[in-house]
Amino acid sequence: MLFKSSDMREIKVRRVVSPLIVKDRRNLRPVVITVTIIALTVWTWFIYERGRASVIFHADAAALKITQLNEVNLELTAERDQVQAAIEPLKARAEKHRQAAYQAQTQVTALQNETANLRRQIDELRRLLDPIAGPITITPPVLIRRANNSVNYQMQISLTQPRIDEEPLEGELVLQVRGRLDGQERYLSLAELTQGERTAHRIRFRRFQLVEGRLTLPVGFIPDEILVMAIPHDRRIGGTQQLFKWVWSDELPTDEQ
């Protein structure tokens, strides 16, 4: 740089350059380390707080979800209990119907077996009889209803034979009554008609015998036919069977008999 003096002379001024003083970097290391530690601490705290906030948020959401699920579970449990309470009477009623149906089926099966057994007995008795009627004559049964009672009857059956032997004819008189009970066809044996007192009437006669007895029908039984079979002990003589319609008359009052 040039300056002019009063006497117009040029004076050349030299530029003074200040020397650059370079400080020792070793003195900055503690500062850098401290700043780095502070930065890491701040970053760590930030990450920790962020994670903790996230955990708290998710924990609260999970707790809310669990609470909602518990409420739904309680509602479903209450609804299930109500449905079960409503089903119990239906189950009990269905069980009663099932037991009643089973009992009815058992009774029907027993009646069918009994009817089949009686039919087999009838077939067996018929096989014992000679195809051609034997010498025994059976008159139609006299059935008297006792005291206006539709189930108790007095029975009389007459048996005759033309043979004249010194030895009387001996054998059995067997009865079967066919009818309907509760809409089902039934065959009643003499044992059933006499409450188990007898299975046959004993016969023993030379020319004539009157067989008497009492018959008791099951309540509701509607008789249709009565089969009478006279079966001699001596198979050579030959038996007789007769099928009659069930015809009855009322018992006469005591003062008219």
Can you list the alpha helix ranges (DSSP code H) found in the chain? 29-128, 190-193
Q: How far apart are CA 4 and CA 11, in angstroms?
A: 6
Residue type, 183: G
Question: Which pLDDT does position 253 carry in this prediction?
Answer: 47
Residue 96, number of CB atoms within 10 A of its CB:
10
pLDDT at 4 over 70: no
Q: What digits encode the pLDDT tens for the residues 184-217?
A: 899 999 999 998 898 999 999 888 889 999 999 9
SS3 152: strand
pLDDT at residue 128, as a whole number:
53
pLDDT of residue 130: 46
**Per-residue pLDDT tens digits for 55-108:** 777 777 777 788 888 888 888 888 888 888 888 888 888 888 888 888 888 887
The SS3 assignment for 137 reads strand
Say if CB 138 and CB 240 are below 8 A apart.
yes
Segment 223-240 mean pLDDT = 86
Half-sphere exposure of 14 (CA within 13 A, CB side): 3
Q: For residue 10, is pLDDT > 70?
A: no
Could you tell me which residues are beta bridge partners of residue 131?
none
Average pLDDT for 119-133: 57
The single residue listed with the structure tokens 């001024």 is 13
Instruction: Kindly report the pTM of this predicted structure.
Output: 0.47
Q: Is the pLDDT reported for residue 171 higher than 60?
A: yes
- Which two structure tokens, joined as six digits, stand for 151? 């189930």
What pLDDT, in 10s, does the model give residues 35-60?
788 888 888 887 877 777 777 777 77
